[in-house]
Amino acid sequence: MVEHIRQHRRFLAGLMAVLVAIGVIVAVTEWPSSNPVGQVLNPVNAQCRRDPAHVPAPPPGASNYLHTCGNQIYDAQGRLVKITGVSWFGLETPTMAPDGLWARNWQTILDQLKALGFNVIRLPFSDDALQPGAQPAGINYLLNPDLKGLTSLQVMDRIISGARQRGLHVLLDRHRPNRYAQSDLWYTSTRSEAQWIAEWKMLAERYRGNDTVIGADLDNEPRGPATWGTNDPKTDWRLAAQRAGDAVLSVNPYWLIFVEGIERSGNDWYWWGGNLSGVARAPVILNVPNRVVYSPHDYGPDVYPQGWFKDPTFPANLPSVWDSHWGYIAEQGIAPIVLGEFGGRSVGTDAEGKWQRALVAYLDQHDIGFISWALNPDSGDTGGILEDDWLTVNPGKESLYRPSLAPPIASSSSKAVSAPESLSVSYHLASAPSPTTSVSFEVTLFNHRGQPVKLSGTTLRYWIDGNSATTTVAVDWAAMGTSSVDAQVVAAPLGKQGGYIEIGFHDATLPAYGSSGPILIRYHRTDWGTFNPTRDYSFGRSTTDQAWPRIDLYQDGRLVSGTVP
C-alpha cells in the first residue's frame, strides 16, 4: 500500500479525446446486484461477448478466462464481470505466507471471504517467496497441519486451489522485489527487469490451465523516478508494463494484465501507483489485445493529508480529482478500471469516513470494480475488514462494501457453490502403519460458519475391524483440553463386524471460523497384543492432515459427513 506521499497539484488532461477516436466505446450499464452467475446481461456491444483476440483454444481448466472490451470485463461465455475483491497480504513480507495463519486455519479464512461476498482475492507476493526452497514463517501448524513442509510457492498453490473449490478467483500481485521493502521502480540494483519478467512467465506457465487465477498485477505502486510515456527505458513504466505484459501473454494469453499508475506526471503529484493521467496520450498496447485493466490506488487523509482534502468544497471536490487521474479511462470507454487498493479505518462522519463513503459512491455511479486494502487487521494505516482477533468482521466496512459487491465469477468448473456444512473433520496418522501394539491418530474439527458451534451433540466414528470387547481407547492429548473430549469403543450395529471408536465432546464450543485444534487418539488391544491396523476401515496412511471420508461426523445423531462401512 501507500508508504510515501507528495503534495498534489491538479493536472488538466487536455488530450483525453485522442483515445476516444481510436478506442472501442461501450456505454456503462448499471450493475444489477441480484445478477446470478450465468445470466447474460445486455451489453451494448454484442461483439464484446466473445474475446476479440485470436488466441488458441484454452486448456479445459481455463476455458472461462476473462477478456476486456471497452470499459468492461467479460468472461468467455459472454457474461459481464465486475471485480469486487480484497487483498490478503503476507506473502510479500518476511513471513512469506499470508498473514493470520498464526491465528486461523487457512480454509476457514477462505470460507469467511466467500461468505462476505467478495469474488476476487488479490494475493501480494515478493520475488523472495517464489525462490526454490523459500520457507514460510508465522504459520501455526497445529491449526494448519496440511501446510507443514510446504514452500511459500506451494502455500500459494494451496490458497489458489482452495479458492477454486469455493468459487473465488485470485489476482497475483508482485508487491515487492524482496520480502523487506517495496521499490520505486520495477527493478532494483539486485533484481533486474529480466528476473522480474522471468518470474512472471514462470507463474503464468504454472497456472496456465487454471482460470481461478485471472491475471497479473505487474508491479505495485511505481513512484519516484517512474514516468509514463517518456520512452526512457529505465523509467518509463508504460513501456515496462508492455514488455512484461507481452512476455506473460506469450506464455498464457488467457490472463488479464493489471497496470497501476505512477506517482507524478509533470507537476501533478498523486498517490503512489495512482496517477494514470498519461494513459490519455500513451495507453498500454499489448500484442494480445483486450487484456489491459488499469488499476490505480487511492487513499484518504489518514494516510496523508493531500491538498484536495483541505479544499473548502471537500468532499464534493473529490469526483473531479478521481476523474482527472483515472476515472476518465472508464468514462471514455478506453479500458476497464479496477481500483486496486483503497481503504481506511473510518467509514463515519470524520474526513476519512467522508472520503471513503464518497469513493464507494463514485465507484458505484461509474460501475467501477475495486479491491479493498485489506482483509488483514495488521495494516497500520487502514486497518482491515477483520478485527484484531482475525475473526470478527468490522461492521462499518461490511455495511459500506456489501451493497457494492458483484456476483461470483464463473470458472470452467463452476457449478452452484453450496455453503459448507457447519463442521468438517481432518485426519492424519500419528504412528507407524505396520503391525503394532497401538495406533495413534489425530483429528481436528473445523467450524466453517460465522457463528459459534456447541459440540455437545457432535460425535466422530472411527471404524475398527477387531472385537470391540478386546479394544480400548484413550485421549492422549487435545489442544482444547482432554477434559472436553471423551472416547469409547462401541460394538458394531447389528449385522456389521467389528465396532467403532466414538469421540464425543462436552463443555466445548468452536468459535466462528475456528477449530478444535488437534486431538490425539490412541487405541490398542486390552492385552497389548500385536495387531494389523490396516484392516480397520477408518485407518489411513497419510501422515499429513487431510479430509478422510472413512471417519464419520455426526451432529445430533445426523450423519453430516463420512461413509459408513
How far is residue 14 CA from its own chain's centroid?
Answer: 38
| Residue written as grid cell 503529484 | 269
Rounded to 10°, the helix 152-165/106-116 angle is 40
**What values do phi and psi take at 239, rounded to 5?**
-65, -40
Q: Look up residue 454 and give its DSSP letter.
A: E
| Residue written as grid cell 501480494 | 124
Per the structure block, which three cell numbers stand in for 493? 450395529
User: Which one is catalytic: 221, 263, 352, 442?
Assistant: 221
Distance CA 325, CA 546 (A): 49
Distance CA 116, CA 110 (A): 10
Contact 475, 462 (CB under 8 A): no
Helix (H, G, I), strand (E, B) or coil at 269: strand
Which helix (H) or strand (E) segment is 67 a member of? strand 66-69
Q: Is 221 a catalytic residue?
A: yes
Distance CA 471, CA 174 (A): 55
Return the number of other C-beta atoms located less than 10 Å from residue 371's C-beta: 26
Distance CA 283, CA 294 (A): 10
Distance CA 391, CA 394 (A): 10
| Residue written as grid cell 495488521 | 378
Rounded to 10°, the helix 193-206/237-251 angle is 30
Distance CA 378, CA 355 (A): 21
Contact 268, 230 (CB under 8 A): no
User: Which one is catalytic: 92, 260, 341, 352?
Assistant: 341
Distance CA 220, CA 297 (A): 9
For 376, residues 6+ apart whose C-beta sits below 8 A from its C-beta are 87, 88, 89, 90, 99, 100, 384, 386
| Residue written as grid cell 467479460 | 74
Distance CA 271, CA 3 (A): 9
Contact 519, 142 (CB under 8 A): no
Query: Do the strands 292-294 and 551-555 form a parallel or antiparallel pair, or are they unpaired?
Result: unpaired
| Residue written as grid cell 519516484 | 224
Beta-strand (E) ranges in 205-364? 213-217, 256-259, 264-265, 268-269, 292-294, 338-339
**What values do phi and psi take at 238, rounded to 5?**
-60, -45
Q: Is 341 a catalytic residue?
A: yes
Tell me which amino acid residue 281 is. Answer: R
Peptide bond into 226 cis (omega under 30): no
Q: Which residue numbers are catalytic?
A: 221, 341
